[in-house]
Amino acid sequence: MTPTAPPSSPLPTARTPRRRLVADRAARLLVSAGGIGIIASILGILVFILLEVLPLARPAAVLPERTIPLATPVLAALGDEYRTHLAALSPDGRVRVLRLEDGAVVAERAIDPAAPAQDEEAIVAAMVPPGSSLLAAATTDGRVVLQEVDWEIAFDEGLRRTVTPRLEPPLALAVDPERRPLAVFAAVQAGETDYAAAGLTAGGTVRLVTLFGSENLLTGEIETTEVASEAPAPAGLDALVLDHQVRNLFGGTANGDLVWWPVEDGRLGPPQAFPAGSSAVTALTLLIGDRTLVAGQADGTISVWFLVRQADESFQLTRIRDFPRQRAAIAQLAPSQRNRTFLAVDAAGELGLYFSTSNRTLWRGSLPLGPATAATFSPKADGAFVATGRGLAALEIRNPHPEITADSLFARVWYEGYEQPEYAWQSTGGTDDFEPKLSLTPLLIGTLKGTLYSLLLAIPLGVLGAMYASQFMHPTLLRFVKPTVEIMAALPSVVLGFLAGLWLAPRVERAFPALLLLLLAAPAAVLLAGWAWRSLPARLRNRLRPGTEVGLYFLALLAAFSVSFSLSERFEGLAFGGDFQAWLLAATGQTYDQRNAIVVGLAMGFAVIPIIFAISEDAFSNVPRNLVAGSLALGANRWQTVTRVVLPTASPGIFSAIMIGFGRAVGETMIVLMATGNTPITSWSAFNGFRTLSANIAVEIPEAPHGGTLYRTLFLAALLLFFMTFLVNTLAEIVRQRLRRKFAQL
């Protein structure tokens, strides 16, 4: 119907009371403002969702907080949770705890009580074992000394915080029994009371010492046993890193190789070398979870490596991804203890913040203080400390959503523990060091898969049914058919989902062959019924209203159903050796899930049929009567008229019906939630389940922390759904309006 143009107000006459005119103007203003406001706020939904998604794309920020001049150089540093203090280890072997506010030293102790007090070179190297609260130092006499730094945090009544550092007595592991200085070393806290350290001895071998502590239940004392092991080392080894389980020791050499020693029960296996280019490996670190090895090289290359299982069950250190090169040799690599972010500082004083999983360069910039001697993340990963020869820089890091890039959302990503790059959605895991996998691709595939299978059912049934109803049925009968279909449209999807999941799925599983039979039996039965109908004497047929034969088809279908289901088992025995699922597995290698795409297709198809039906019926019945009458008058029969005149004329309407049906299927939530197993897989098989974008939102958003990456990613999924349906519906609506204008002209 064309909108009637509102008649404009007549000119007010002099006798119209002022009050009424004011009321009229006020009403106009109110309705317009209200109307525009409401429409704007409806459209504001899109804006709001967009605003929630946008922070995902924002880069990280690294802000220099303060710089503190240092009296002595710092080789390793550890901060507290609130970034108020820093424990720094200097070459003189002393740990000094600095208050960052004013740079004052609040506590100090020698890391190695055995060393002479004024030795400027008491230690040769130092590090912070990733994920620990230890400062580790290699002494000149071949030992590794571990200093634990505890922070006591107390709140007074006014909720003011005091942080008191506590330096525990240090622990020493004699890595080289011959007491020669260790050129390179690595240390780790392997458990509550277990420690391990490995170093390159002057003899050119790598020696690993593991200290297993066990608490004596009677005395409460800790008894330790020490396991030492030695293995050959390649020439030029200049970096080492040890994982928390003491299963793997990694090294890097000056000629650009990475070296891997497998470790079992504290014993080193033979080393394996993997070439990483020609440039010397200058820094190595393991990210949280110990499965990602990051290597920095002299030419500024930063690469990520995994131990990947090979076909023969062995492991190979494999280069997974590279980050954009920095300009100078990588001097320091510091991993975050929250996620797979790490910090790289090169010899030229340039600083880079990277995220491994998403291969994202989060931030780059240069340090005001020059080349770094130590770099460490604060425990909450909201800050970092970089020590240089000239002073200490405390940095604030704002890095809320490092996990997201277009590639990590839509392309294959090589995750830790995977044998190749894959699409995966797994947002949460049981442990803190879990690597979230946030690929939307499996969900998009699931969404399209569910839509596809439901449209396979809904398009033929909806369009053909509508064609028949509008072209061959008497209006009196149509008056009953249409409301029935409208009721079908109004059925709550939760009921359909419940029936699909609990009633239909087990029955389809039991009698799948019957469905195959039905594909043949139903059309055959209808054709037979049609033939029988036409064989009736014309006199009898003409007395009934056109469309009455649907009742006959109805009975025929009932018969087809009962025949198919009663023959199901016999058919299964004949065609599939008695067990369809076993046959499926043997013939195609596919497994059969009870809640699969076929069940969803049936249930969601049921939900989409009435939409397609209603809109197609509208399109068919609005085809101008004169076209139909003309065609019939020219001698075409009913079927010819319908297929060659009505159908082409109405086809844009049918297109828009299918589009709107598509939109409904894409966004349907409850049916897929209940009738699939909700496994985010990427298979198109009809016999497996899937997870759609919408079901994924419903399942995960109640658990997603407000403002977190998962929360925003789910908003992104909602935005995708919004755009998909909005585009498709707009297209359909424009086509429909154009069609309507065309009909008006005909």
Partner 1 sequence: MSSIQKPSRDRLGDSLTALCGGALALNLLLILALLGLLLANGGGYFWQKPLEELTLADGRVLLGEIHDRKPVAARAGETVAPEAQRIQLKVGNRDLDGIDFLWLDESEIVSRSRPLDTVVLERLEWGNFYGRMVELRRGSELLAAGPEEVWKAFGPLHEEKLREREAIRKLEKGPIGDVNHAIERLRLERRKVALARLPAAAEEARLAGLEAAEREREAEYEALAERLFSLRAALDAEVVLLEAADGRRKELPVGAVVRALRPNTFGFLDKLALNASRLGEFVFDDPRESNTEGGIFPAIFGTVMMVFLMSFAVVPFGVLAALYLREYAKQGPLVRAVRIAVNNLAGVPSIVFGVFGLGFFVYLVGGSIDRLFYPEALPTPTFGTGGILWGALTLALLTVPVVIVATEEGLAAVPRIVREGSLALGATKFETTFKVVLPAAAPGILTGMILAMARAAGEVAPLMIVGMVKLAPALPVDGNFPFVHLERKFMHLGFHIYDVGFQSPNVDATKPLVFATALLLIAVVTTMNLVAIAIRNHLRRKYAGSAV
User: Does residue number 396 form part of the binding site for partner 1 (CB under 8 A)?
Assistant: no
Q: Compare residues 370 and 530 and give the one whose CB is closer to partner 1.
A: 530
DSSP 8-state code for residue 328: S
- Pick the binder of partner 1 from 82, 315, 498, 583 (CB under 8 A): 498
Among positions 547-566, residues that touch partner 1 (CB under 8 A) are: 547, 549-551, 553-554, 556-558
Q: Which of 613, 620, 655, 690 binds partner 1 (CB under 8 A)?
A: 613
Nearer to partner 1, 87 or 724 (CB): 724
Give whichever of 117 and 558 is closer to partner 1, judged by the CB atom.
Answer: 558
Tokens representing 517 are 């039979």
Instruction: Please identify which residue in 93, 289, 501, 680 interacts with partner 1, judged by CB under 8 A.
Output: 501
Counting contacts by CB under 8 A, is residue 159 touching partner 1?
no
Q: Which of 453, 389, 439 is nearest to 409 (CA)?
A: 439
Nearest CB to partner 1, comparing residues 367 and 556: 556
| CB nearer to partner 1: pick between 129 and 547 | 547
Give me the least distance between CB of 704 and partner 1, in Å please. 9
Q: Which of 86, 88, 124, 522 binds partner 1 (CB under 8 A)?
A: 522
Q: Please, is 531 exposed, middle or buried when counting C-beta atoms within 10 Å of its C-beta (0-12, 13-18, 19+)?
A: exposed
Whether residue 410 contacts residue 354, with contact meaning beta carbons closer than 8 Å, is answered with no
Residue 604 interacting with partner 1 (CB under 8 A): no
**Residue 575 interacts with partner 1 (CB under 8 A): yes or no:** no
Between the CA of residue 716 and those of 73, 139, 356, 678, 701, what are the distances in Å? 47, 53, 22, 19, 12
Residue closer to partner 1 (CB basis): 13 or 420: 13
Choose which of 236, 530, 624, 677 interacts with partner 1 (CB under 8 A): 530
CB 399 within 8 A of CB 411: no
Q: Rounded to an integer, what distance in angstroms lies between the CA atom of residue 35 and that of residue 139?
A: 78
Instruction: Answer yes or no whether residue 703 interacts with partner 1 by CB under 8 A.
Output: no
Question: Does residue number 647 form part of the binding site for partner 1 (CB under 8 A)?
Answer: no
Q: Which is nearer to partner 1, 353 or 721 (CB)?
A: 721
Binders of partner 1 among residues 193 to 252 (CB under 8 A) are: none
Among 143, 291, 664, 691, binds partner 1 (CB under 8 A): 664
Only segment of 321-329, 346-354, 379-387, 692-700 that touches partner 1 (CB under 8 A) = 692-700
Does 615 interact with partner 1 (rule: CB under 8 A)? Answer: no
Residue type, 316: Q
| 714 part of the interface to partner 1, by CB under 8 A | yes
Q: Stretches 109-117, 189-197, 354-362, 732-740: which one binds partner 1 (CB under 8 A)? A: 732-740
Residue 126 burial (10 A CB sphere; 0-12, 13-18, 19+) = buried
Taking the C-alpha atoms of residue 710 and residue 409, their distance in angstroms, rounded to an integer, is 12
CA distances from 671 to 310, 388, 674, 698 (A): 41, 60, 5, 12
| Residues 435-464, interacting with partner 1 (CB under 8 A) | 460-462, 464
Among 127-135, 180-188, 206-214, 520-528, the segment contacting partner 1 (CB under 8 A): 520-528
Residues facing residue 260 across a β-bridge: 250, 272
| Residues 243-282 interacting with partner 1 (rule: CB under 8 A) | none
Compute the least distance from the CB of residue 501 to partner 1, in Å: 7
Q: Is 286 in the site for partner 1 (CB under 8 A)?
A: no
Residues that contact partner 1, how many (by CB under 8 A): 121
Report in angstroms how near the CB of residue 385 gets to partner 1 at its nearest.
Answer: 31
Candidate residues 324, 737, 738, 741; the one interacting with partner 1 per rule CB under 8 A: 737
Q: Read off the tokens for 528.
A: 């037979």
Compare residues 320 and 599 and give the one whose CB is closer to partner 1.
Answer: 599
Q: Nearest to residue 661, comparing CAs of 703, 713, 620, 608?
A: 608
Closest distance of CB 3 from partner 1, Å:
6
Q: In what side-by-side order are the strands of the sheet with 94-99?
A: 76-79, 85-89, 94-99, 105-110
Region from 159-167, 181-189, 372-380, 487-495 binding partner 1, contact rule CB under 8 A: 487-495
Single out the segment in contact with partner 1 by CB under 8 A; choices: 136-144, 221-229, 235-243, 728-736: 728-736
Which lies closer to partner 1 via its Cβ, residue 332 or residue 709?
Answer: 709
Determine if 419 is a binding residue for partner 1 (CB under 8 A): no
Selected binder of partner 1 within 663, 680, 688, 713 (CB under 8 A): 663
Residue 30 or 222 with smaller CB distance to partner 1: 30
Place of tokens 């995966």: 424
The secondary structure element, H or E, covering residue 61 is strand 61-69
Q: Which residues pair with 67 in a beta bridge?
A: 393
What are the residues whose beta carbons fall under 8 Å from the beta carbon of 513, sequence distance 6 or more?
A: 568, 569, 571, 572, 575, 576, 580
Write down the least CB distance from residue 6 to partner 1, Å.
5
Residue 410 touches partner 1, criterion: CB under 8 A: no
| Pairing between β-strand 272-275 and β-strand 281-286 as defined by DSSP bridges | unpaired
Distances (CA, A) of 90 to 306, 313, 372: 33, 45, 13
Quote the least distance from Cβ 326 to partner 1, whole Å: 39
Could you tell me which of 456, 471, 465, 455 has the C-alpha nearest to residue 485? 465
Q: Does 658 bind partner 1 (CB under 8 A)?
A: no
CB of residue 354 vs partner 1: minimum separation in angstroms?
Answer: 30
Question: Using the rule CB under 8 A, which residue among 167, 202, 348, 526 binds partner 1?
Answer: 526
Give the rounded distance of the alpha carbon of 532 from its chain centre: 57
Task: Write each residue from 48 to 87 as x if it is in contact with partner 1 (CB under 8 A), else as -, in one continuous string.
Answer: xx--x-----------------------------------
DSSP string, 384-414: EEEEESSEEEEEEEE-S-TT--HHHHHS-B-
Minimum distance of partner 1 from residue 96's CB (angstroms): 38
Q: Phi-psi category of 313—alpha, beta or left, where left has phi over 0 and alpha has psi -120 to 50?
A: left
Residues of this chain, 15-54, that bind partner 1 according to CB under 8 A: 16, 20-21, 23-24, 26-28, 31-32, 34-36, 38-39, 42-43, 45, 48-49, 52
Rounded least distance, CB 42 to partner 1, Å = 6
**Nearest alpha-carbon partner for 446 in 683, 690, 666, 663:** 690
**CA pair distance 320, 293, nearest whole angstrom:** 10
Residue in 348, 452, 516, 698 binding partner 1, rule: CB under 8 A: 698
Does 708 bind partner 1 (CB under 8 A)? Our answer is no
Q: Of 174, 515, 636, 686, which one interacts with partner 1 (CB under 8 A)?
A: 636
615: its two tokens: 């809109």
Nearest to 384 by CA among 420, 355, 431, 342: 342
- Is residue 542 near partner 1 by the rule CB under 8 A? no
CB 122 within 8 A of CB 139: yes
Dist CA 154 CA 163 (whole Å): 7
Residue 631 and residue 610: Cα distance in Å, rounded? 29
**Residue number with CB closer to partner 1 (243 or 700):** 700
C-alpha distances out from residue 161 to 83, 100, 493, 727, 737, Å:
12, 14, 53, 54, 67
Dihedral pair phi/psi, residue 77, rounded to 5°: -145, 150
Q: What is the spatial distance between Cα 516 and Cα 565, in angstroms, rounded to a whole number?
A: 10
- The span of 123-131, 435-443, 682-690, 713-721 binding partner 1 (CB under 8 A) equals 713-721
Query: For residues 266 and 663, which CB has a smaller minimum distance to partner 1 in the complex?
Result: 663
How many CB atoms are located within 10 Å of the residue 418 CB? 17
Site for partner 1 (CB under 8 A): which residue of 502, 544, 586, 629? 502
Determine, following the binding rule CB under 8 A, whether residue 472 of this chain makes contact with partner 1. Answer: yes
